[in-house]
Every structure is written in C-alpha cells, then in structure tokens.
Structure 1
Amino acid sequence: MARRIKVLQLHPDYNIKAHDFADLGEQIFRALPPARFETVNAFLRGRPTGDQPESRAERSIYFEFSDAQLKGMRIRAMWQLFRYCRSQRFDVVICNRFKPVNMMLMLNRWLKIPLCIGIAHGFGEYDRAYRRQQTARLVSPAWRFVGVSPAVRQYLLDCRCGFTERNTVAITNAIDIVQAEGLQLSRDEARSQLGLEPHVRLVGALGRLVPVKGHIHLIRAFAQIAGAHPDAQLAIIGAGREHDRLLREVELLGLQGRVHLLGFRENALRYVRAFDIWAMPSLAEGLGLALLEGMSGRLPVIASDVPAMLPLIQGAGGIAVAPADVEGLSRALDEYLSLSDEQLQMKGEQSYRYLTERHDIEVFRQQYLELIDSALSEVTL
C-alpha cells in the first residue's frame, strides 16, 4: 500500500466552528481523499474548551503559544514548530495568514518540506518594506501562494517580493450552499428569535463592529431615507469596540426603534432570512464571506465596490457603492426599498443563482486538490 501524503495545515489561532460551511481550512481538508492524504491541523494560539469543536483533520495540535512568544524573534515558538515538523516529516504544509507563512518561510530553509502553500486572506500583510525584503529572500521553489480573491492575488503580485505569475494563484472563497441553507431559519422564526417585527421591510448587515466594516456609514445612510420609508428598519448582527459609538449615533439621529444593534449571535447565518436586503458597507475586504452568506439567503445585495467585492456585486446584480459614501448608500437603500416585494424577491433570486454558478464549494475543493497534486508532481516525495 502506497504511503499517504502527509499534510499539515497551520493557523494563527484556534478558530473551528460547529458548522464549516464557510471555513476555508476545514473545506480544504474536505477536498483531500483520506485514502491518499493524512491530515493534521495545528494552531499557534488557543485550544477548544468545554464542548467547542475540533477539526475534521485526523489529528489536531495546539501549541498554545502566548502573544509574547509570537512577537519579535519568536525563538522558542520557532524551535518548537521546527522540532515538531522535523519529527513528523510532512509532505505539504498549508499556512493561513501572515504569521504562519512567515514562520514557515524561515523554517523551511532547513526542513525542506517539498510543498508549502501560503494563503493570503486580505490586503496589507506585505506593505512594510522589511516584510517584502524578507519574503523575497526566503521564497523558494517549494512555495505556492493563494489569494482568496483575484484582487488579493493581484495585491501579492504587485508587492514584487517573490510572488510570481507562476507560483501565485487565486482560489476564490466559497461556501457550502447546501449546508448553509439547511441552517437558516424561516423568515418568521428568524425575526421572532431576533426580537424583530414580522411585517417591516428589514435591511440587514452582519459583521464585527469595527471601523473597517463601515456600519456607521450605513446607519447615517439609513437616517436619510427613514422618513420616506416608514416601514423600513435596519438590523446589524455583530459585536465589537464600535458598539457604543454606533449606539450614540442611533440616538443622535433619532433612530431608536428603527435601528437594532443585535450583538453577537452564535451561528449568525441562521438569521439571514429575517432580512429583505443585505448590506455590506465595508471600507476594505479580502473577499467578504458575509456577502456570499447573504446571497445564500436569496437576498439582494448592496455593498462597497472595493476590489475584492466588486465582481461579486456585479455578478449578483446588486448595487455597488463607494466605501464611506453615505449619499450613495442612501440612494441604493432607497432604490431597493422602493421595489415591490416581488421585485425584491427577483433580485434575491438573481444573487442566489450567481452564488450557485460561481462560488460552489465543490469547485473550491477541486481547485485546492488540483493545486496540491500539480505542485507535488513537480517535486520528488
């Protein structure tokens, strides 16, 4: 019996969810046939507690490094990671986000793992000159790089630090549509559980309450059209440091009872069908999985025209608005809220068709399997 290909996937933090419909790492493991691949998932920080789930990988490793151990030279962390990888003799290491990529770039000078894959989830990781210089010095023929959208791939290429047309590809994130739909509550049940009125026009948004998500601009845009659409309300699912600022803005604009900050909700995708319109006013995104989640609920979309999201908005037939453009957002909200229920539903079905045609999870899995197979074919295991 042939030896199975041994694959390690390395993450900066423990981040396994009970449902993996949009979990990049878990979906990569789903792509690898167990008869051919032995899989290990590793986390630099954190571990599950209580009834939190573990990865679908055959084994999970928790290094539990502290923040201090992962700063600066990271000598202790680097040594532990080196010893572990040397003892396990992996054929493939998949690194998610900058820190694992950076650590493995340095370590693979000695480990000589045949294939390393670095996944970039957004922009800015290589903006610093010293990071570009270091990366350019360490990239070897063993490396392949993935941007989670064509825009992220182009960002990597533009850095000119070892990312090339040959070694850098785009594999656009996707979601398991069947699993996502199976989790979603009906419109009435979702509204009931969220404490929202059953017969209003509801604009929804989902995301951490941090400045880059642009929620304050959405609230201000909603204020401009609230008078013209008295049956409309806005609800935002998410928690974060912007909560108090957003709440003050709601009060300042006199939108109490019209704008709802719903806080963190476990498995927030369950509530997507509570909404009539899906809004994503981010100032920047690597891809914006929340946009795909809205499409899975058959919702028309309004979102910022940042490079990673613009092709998705256009493909879904949604409305693209410049980041932080309150006037543009208010016009988009007014346009959709002026449609009949039937017209809104047609717009939502258009976004759902686009999702199924262009972001199917089976295509995503196949692309990762083909990347690993093709890259390994160029080396001798």
Structure 2
Amino acid sequence: MARRIKVLQLHPDYNIKAHDFADLGEQVFHALPVDRFETVNAFLRGRPTAGQPESRADRSVYFEFSDAQLKGLRIKAMWALYRYCLQEQFDVVICNRFKPVNMLLMLNRWLKIPLCIGIAHGFGEYDRSYRRFQTARLVTKSWRFVGVSPAVREYLLGCQCGFTEANTVAITNAIDIELAERLQLTRAEARASLGLNSQARLIGALGRLVPVKGHIYLIRAFAQLAESYPDVQLAIIGAGREHDRLVEEVKTLGLVGRVHLLGFRENALRYVRAFDIWAMPSLAEGLGLALLEGMSGHLPVIASDVPAMRPLIHGAGGLAVPPADVSALRNALEQYLMLSAERLSEKGEQAYRYLQQEHDIEVFRQQYLDLIESALSEVLK
C-alpha cells in the first residue's frame, strides 16, 4: 500500500467549532480522502479545555506558545516548529494567516517541504514594506498562495512581493449549507431563545463588537428611522471591546428596548431565522462569512460596499452601501422596510439561491483538493 500524503495545517490560535459548517480549516480536511492523506492540525496558541471540540484531522498538536514567544525573532517558537516538521516529514503544509505563513517561509529554506500553501484571509497583512521585502526573498517554487476571495487575491498580486498569477489563486469561502440549515432554529424558537419580540420586524447583525465591524453606524442609521417604524427593532449578536461604547450610544439615541446587544452566543448561526433583514456594516472584510450565514437563513442582505463583499451583495440581489455612511445605510434599511413581508421573503429566497449556486461547500472542497494534487505534481517533477 502506498504511503499516504502527509498534510499539516497550521493555525495561529485554537479555533475549532462544535459544528464545522463554516470552519474552513476543517472543510479542507473534509476535502482530503482518508485513504490517500494523513492529516495533522496544529495551533501555535491555545488548546481545548474539557468539553471543547477537537479537529477532525487524524491528529492535533498544540504548541501553546505565549504571545511573547510569537513576537520579535520568535527563536524558541521557530526552533520548536522546525524540529517538529523535520521529525514528521510533511509533504504539504497549509498555513492560515500571516504569522504561520511567515514562519514557514523562513523555515522551509532548511526543511524543504515539497508544497507549502499560504492562505490570506483579508487585506493589510503585507502593507508594511519590510514584510514585502522579506516575503519576496523567501518565496520559492514550493509555495502556492490562496486568497479567500478574488479581491484578496488581487490584493496579494498588487503587493508585488512574490505573489504571481501562476502561484496565487482565489478559493472563495463557502459554508456547508445543508448542515447550516439543520442547525437553525425556527423563527419562533430563535426569537424565544434570544428573548426577542415575536411580532416585531427585526434587523439582525452578527459579528465581534470591534470598530471594524461598523456596528455603531448601523445603530445610528436605525436611530434615523426608528420613529417612523415603531414595530422595527435591531439586534446584534456578538461580544467585544466595543460593547460599552455601543451601550452608551443606544442610551444616548433613546433606543433602549429597541436595540438589543445580545452578547456572544455559541453557534450563533442557530438564531439567524429570528430576523427579517440581515445587515453587515463592516468597514473592511476579507470575505465575511456572516454574510453567507445570513443568506443561509433565506434573508435579504445589506452590507458595506467593500471589494471582497461587493460581488456577493450584488449576486444575492442585496443592497450595497458605502462603509461608515449612516445616511446610505439608513436609506437601504428603509428600502427593505417599505416592502411587504411577502416581497421581503422573495428577496431572501433570491439571496439563498445565489448562495447555493456560488458558495457550495463541495466546490470549495474540490478546489482545495485540486490545488494540492496539481501543485504537488508540479513541484515534484
């Protein structure tokens, strides 16, 4: 029996979810036939505590480096990772985000792993000139790069530091639609679980409460039409450092009882059908999975007109607004709120059909399998 191809996937932090409908690292492992691939998942920081899930990979490794060990020269972390990869003799290493990519770029000068794949999940990682200079010196024929959307791929190519038309592709994020729908509560169940009004028209948003997610602009836009639509409420699922600021904004605008900051919810996708409209006012995104999650709940979408999300919004028949533009966001919300329930539902079904056609998880898995197999055949010639 031929030796299985040995694949390591490297992440900056432990981040395994109980359900992997949108865990794209796990979906890559789904793509690899177990009779031909041996898989290992590794995390630079963190590890699961009792009851938390582990990867579907054959093995998981937790380096548990401290933040300090992953800064500067990272000598201890680099040495530990080097020894581990040397011992295991991987055929393929898949690196998620800048730090793992950067570490393997340096280490593979000596490790000589046949195929390394660096995945860029957003913009800005190579904006600094010294990062571009370093990357350009270290990219070899062993490397392939993936942008999680066409816009992220264009960003990489524009950096002109070793990313080329030949070694850089776009594999658009996707979700397991069938699993996502099985997890979702009904409208009534979701609203009851979240403590939301069963009769209100609800605008929903999901995401970490951090400035780049733009929730404060959504709250301000809602404030401008709240008086005209007394049956409409806004709810945001997520936690983060912006929480207190958003609470104060809600109070200042007189929206207590109309805007609900619901905090972190495990498996937040379960609640998507509680809402009538899905909003994503981010100031920047690589490719916002929360937008796809809203579409999986058959919801019409409003989102910021940033490069990574623009084709999704238009493809779904949604409304694109300039980021941080409160007036435009208010007008988009009102455009949907003026529709009948039946017409709004039709818009949601249009978004769902687009999701099925363009972000199917089986296509995503096949693209990763094809990339690994074709790239391996090239580098091993």
TM-score category, normalised to shorter length: over 0.9
SS class of match (2:342): helix
For residues 225 and 167 of structure 2, the distance between their equivalents in structure 1, rounded to whole angstroms, comes to 48
For residues 226 and 87 of structure 1, the distance between their equivalents in structure 2, rounded to whole angstroms, comes to 62
2:179 maps to 1:157: no
Q: Which residue does the alignment assign to 1:35?
A: 35
For 1:338, give the aligned amino acid: M
For 1:342, give the aligned amino acid: E
For residues 329 and 46 of structure 1, the distance between their equivalents in structure 2, rounded to whole angstroms, comes to 38
For residues 155 and 311 of structure 1, the distance between their equivalents in structure 2, rounded to whole angstroms, comes to 16
Q: Deviations over 1:31-67 (max 9, x none)?
A: 0000000000000000000100100000000000111
For residues 342 and 139 of structure 2, the distance between their equivalents in structure 1, rounded to whole angstroms, comes to 54
The alignment yields a C-alpha RMSD, in angstroms, of 0.6
Q: Which residue does the alignment assign to 2:247?
A: 247
Q: Deviations over 1:92-129 (max 9, x none)?
A: 00000000000000000000000000000000000000
Q: Structure 2 unaligned segments of length 5 or more: list them.
A: none
2:50 maps to 1:17: no
* CA positional deviation for 1:151: 0.4
Identical-pair percentage: 81
For residues 228 and 310 of structure 1, the distance between their equivalents in structure 2, rounded to whole angstroms, comes to 29
* CA positional deviation for 1:227: 1.2
Q: Which residue does the alignment assign to 2:201?
A: 201
Q: Which residue does the alignment assign to 1:189?
A: 189
For 1:35, give the aligned amino acid: D
For 1:31, give the aligned amino acid: A
Q: Which residue does the alignment assign to 2:326?
A: 326
2:107 maps to 1:98: no
SS class of match (1:354): helix
2:213 maps to 1:213: yes
Q: Deviations over 1:337-381 (max 9, x none)?
A: 110000000000000000000000000000000000000111328
* CA positional deviation for 1:5: 0.3
Residues 185-334 of structure 1 mapped to structure 2, 5 A cutoff = 185-334=185-334
Would the aligned equivalents of 2:141 and 2:379 in 1 still touch at CA under 8 Å? no
* CA positional deviation for 1:24: 1.1
2:75 maps to 1:66: no
For residues 73 and 243 of structure 1, the distance between their equivalents in structure 2, rounded to whole angstroms, comes to 35
For residues 257 and 48 of structure 1, the distance between their equivalents in structure 2, rounded to whole angstroms, comes to 37
For residues 318 and 312 of structure 1, the distance between their equivalents in structure 2, rounded to whole angstroms, comes to 8
For residues 209 and 273 of structure 1, the distance between their equivalents in structure 2, rounded to whole angstroms, comes to 21
For 1:349, give the aligned amino acid: E
SS class of match (2:7): strand
SS class of match (1:202): strand
For residues 303 and 153 of structure 1, the distance between their equivalents in structure 2, rounded to whole angstroms, comes to 21
For residues 371 and 97 of structure 1, the distance between their equivalents in structure 2, rounded to whole angstroms, comes to 18
Q: Which runs of 4+ in 1 moved over 6 A?
A: none
For 1:50, give the aligned amino acid: A
* CA positional deviation for 1:21: 0.4
2:147 maps to 1:147: yes
Q: Which residue does the alignment assign to 2:50?
A: 50
Would the aligned equivalents of 2:234 and 2:259 in 1 still touch at CA under 8 Å? yes
Q: Which residue does the alignment assign to 2:123?
A: 123
For 2:134, give the aligned amino acid: Q
SS class of match (1:233): strand
For residues 191 and 197 of structure 2, the distance between their equivalents in structure 1, rounded to whole angstroms, comes to 7
For 1:55, give the aligned amino acid: S
* CA positional deviation for 1:20: 0.4
Q: Which residue does the alignment assign to 1:111?
A: 111
For 1:230, give the aligned amino acid: P
For 1:86, give the aligned amino acid: L
SS class of match (1:244): helix
For 1:283, give the aligned amino acid: L
Q: Which residue does the alignment assign to 2:362?
A: 362
Q: Which residue does the alignment assign to 1:86?
A: 86
